[in-house]
Chain A
Amino acid sequence: MTLNFAKFAARFNRGLLYAFMIALVGFTAMPIIYMVSTAFKPLDELFLYPPRFFVQKPTLRSFYDLLTATDSSIVPFSRYIFNSLFVSASIVAASLFVCCLGAYVLSKFRPPGASFIFAVILSALMFSPQVTQIPTYLIVSKLGLVNTYWALILPKIAVAFNIFLMKQFFDQIPDALIEAAHIDGASEWKIFWKVIMAVSKPAWATLIIFTFIGNWNDYFSALVFTTSETMKTLPLAIQTLAGGPGVVARSGALAAGTFLVTLPPILVFLLFQKLIMNTMVHSGIKS
């Protein structure tokens, strides 16, 4: 009898835990659900009082407004989409190449000074990127890159976190694998490309995803390095569209824009979730 009761209590506790966690999920998901539902609201529902959480008669009207109505203004919205896509994609490609190559050296070649370089990289993890924004801005402006794509791309390639992540992962790869490739007569370049990169697919896939998401959402560098309308990226454009707190005009287009900005990172993460979890195991700092 007592045993049964204990079992029942354990099960009850478990049920309670699930209920609590699901409630918590409901709470955290609320703003996102609201955002999605608002993006599909027709005009009369947007200004309804009292406001409704869920959309009653979904419509694509807001998306249509966003993509066409802004044509009459100076810069079409599609330009912002292109800017964001182009900048994010370029950073991802360049950072993947540069950081993986560098991490391979730090992990497997260990030339003199490698441990010092790694220590510097580790310290670079310890401050917010905004700290270096002023001199970076000076460098970018001296190079004459303000208001170009270079200004948005170049400073974001050699990121401490990326090389750190890859190095921690490469450390797990046994040296025997590389030696075997050596014996087979492969060049270092070929070993890196065909052996190391092939084995560490989850790690660099994770790097791609993080870099993409981070730069897709990046607001600060576009704010600092660009002044012209045509160079703005999506997060900045959305902010302008909103016109700051309290502006109600074009709130339909705004909701649709938010939806368009928010969706890609979620989709990308959903697709590659498993890979990311496998990689993150190795990302701890061992001191």
Chain B
Amino acid sequence: MQSSVQSSVEANRSLQLKSQKVSRFKLTAAGKKAALGYLFLSPFLILFIVFTVIPVVQSVYLSFTYYNMLQPAKWVGLANYSVLFLEDDIFIKSLKNTFVFAVIAGPLSYCLSFLLAWVINTLRAKMLFSLAFYVPSITSGIALSIVWLYIFSGDRYGLLNNWMLSWGMIREPILWTTDPDTIMPVVIIVSLWMSMGTGFLVFLAGLQNVSPELYEAGAIDGISSRFQELWYITLPMMKPQLLFGAVNAIVAAFGVFDIAVAMAGMPSPNYAGHTIISHLFDYAFIRFELGYASSIAVFLFFITFGLGRIVMKLLSSKEQ
């Protein structure tokens, strides 16, 4: 490794010497540094291009084709997209489910994780509280779905049904994960439970980092209540963290898949737990219609990317 670093630096230096004669020393140093930089960066760059950049580009290309992995891809223009939006009822259903999920669970988990972080930051035993809220998000959703399936089990043995029956709230057990009406609420509850993740940690860390002097200065300037403090000092100071949390929340909300599948199965009863990713998975890896599935992926890419950009615009500070 070291010798190859040296040799490429050597090669680059001679190149630089030939082409740049003015202020030679400075430029050679810069050229040498750049070459070494690219060398250090190359392992990441190669893997990143192969497994992230090329896939995105290829997704866009495949979305205009019919491709089933056996025959070569056939160009079909916008056909996939028109089928997707005009004829595929199940896709529209999955779109609706995902939006319902994203609109409810996304902002709720975002606000909840900020609020909890804000409250925890004022409490004693901060670490204990933050651990208690963070742990659900690092457990495996798939593995814990076994516990949730027991809690939401549709018979009398199910924990929730059992409690509700014994308290006289319901007369008959509710079929939580098989009744199309209750599948989404159940998925949302489980996801919310797991959603105090990276965003929550970033908020917590950001809150601890707001310097106390700012609050003192604020008090002198006439800020009296804790909510004023929050609005005029804490929130503006935490913009970078808020932005990061928002991007995270959007990606997570639109990527909902494994919990929905683990709770409701695939396909779920009456497609009530079908999400965009479920649909993508269905067409890509069960039916092997990769062109069609790619158009779903591209659509999802534009949604999360577009929302991400909007959030960045909204939260970017004009003063800076």
Contact = CB atoms under 8 A, between A and B. Distances in A.
B48 A219 contact: no
Given A98-B44, A127-B304, A188-B36, A158 B139 contact: no
Q: Which of A121, A157, A224, A285 has the most CB of B within 10 A?
A: A285
Interface in A231-277: 234-236, 238-239, 242, 244-246, 254-255, 257-258, 261-262, 265-266, 269-270, 273-274, 276-277
Contacts of A158: 43-48, 51-52
B184 to A, nearest CB: 16
Nearest to B49: A158
Contacts, number: 296
A258 B52 contact: no
Q: Which of A120, A273, A284 has the most CB of B within 10 A?
A: A284
Interface stretch (A57-65, A67-75, A100-108): A100-108
A47 to B, nearest CB: 8
B297 A134 contact: yes
B243 to A, nearest CB: 4
Contact of A133 (B252, B284, B308): B284
Contact of A128 (B135, B244, B304): B304
A120 B53 contact: yes
Contacts of A102: 40-41, 43-45
A101 B44 contact: yes
B272 to A, nearest CB: 13
Nearest to B124: A18
Contact of B240 (A216, A254, A286): A286
A82 interface: no
A20 to B, nearest CB: 9
Q: Which of B59, B178, B204, B317 has the most CB of A within 10 A?
A: B59
Given A111-B34, A286-B240, A135 B134 contact: no
A287 interface: yes
Interface in B124-162: 127, 129-136, 138-144, 146-151, 156-157, 159, 162
A176 interface: no
A134 B284 contact: yes
B55 interface: yes
Contact of B141 (A133, A217, A276, A280): A217
Given A134-B62, A139-B55, A277-B204, A257 B143 contact: yes
B2 A189 contact: yes
A31 to B, nearest CB: 5
B143 to A, nearest CB: 4
* Range class of the B interface residue count: 35 or more
A4 B156 CA distance: 52
A21 B317 CA distance: 33
Given A127-B301, A131-B297, A239 B43 contact: no
Given A109-B33, A126-B305, A192-B40, A281 B119 contact: no
Given A105-B41, A138-B290, A284-B239, A132 B297 contact: yes
Given A28-B193, A130-B257, A189-B2, A49 B156 contact: yes
A213 B138 contact: yes
Contact of A101 (B40, B262, B265): B40
Contacts of B79: none
Interface stretch (B17-25, B82-90, B205-213, B227-235): B205-213
Given A158-B44, A280-B202, A269 B138 contact: yes
B34 A31 contact: no
Given A105-B41, A135-B62, A219 B201 contact: no
Given A139-B50, A242-B146, A277 B201 contact: yes
A185 interface: no
B37 interface: yes
Given A25-B133, A280-B201, 14 more contacts: A31-B148, A32-B147, A125-B308, A126-B247, A130-B281, A131-B297, A134-B284, A134-B294, A135-B294, A210-B198, A216-B140, A244-B265, A277-B205, A284-B206
Listed from nearest, the 9 A-B pairs whose CB atoms lie closest are: A284-B240, A128-B255, A102-B44, A109-B37, A126-B308, A158-B47, A132-B55, A135-B55, A280-B205
Interface of B: 1-2, 5, 33-38, 40-41, 43-48, 50-56, 58-59, 62, 69, 119-120, 123, 127, 129-136, 138-144, 146-151, 156-157, 159, 162, 166, 177-178, 193, 198, 201-202, 204-206, 208-209, 238-244, 247, 250-252, 254-255, 257-258, 262-265, 277, 280-281, 284-285, 290, 293-294, 297-298, 300-301, 304-305, 308-309, 312, 315-317
Interface of A: 17-18, 21, 25, 28-29, 31-32, 34-35, 38, 49-51, 53, 97-99, 101-102, 104-106, 109-112, 114, 117, 120-121, 123-139, 154-155, 157-158, 160, 163, 187-189, 192, 210, 213, 216-217, 219-220, 223-224, 234-236, 238-239, 242, 244-246, 254-255, 257-258, 261-262, 265-266, 269-270, 273-274, 276-281, 283-287
21 contacts: A31-B147, A35-B146, A106-B41, A112-B34, A114-B37, A126-B305, A127-B301, A128-B277, A128-B300, A130-B257, A131-B301, A134-B284, A158-B43, A245-B265, A246-B149, A258-B143, A262-B140, A276-B201, A277-B130, A280-B204, A287-B316
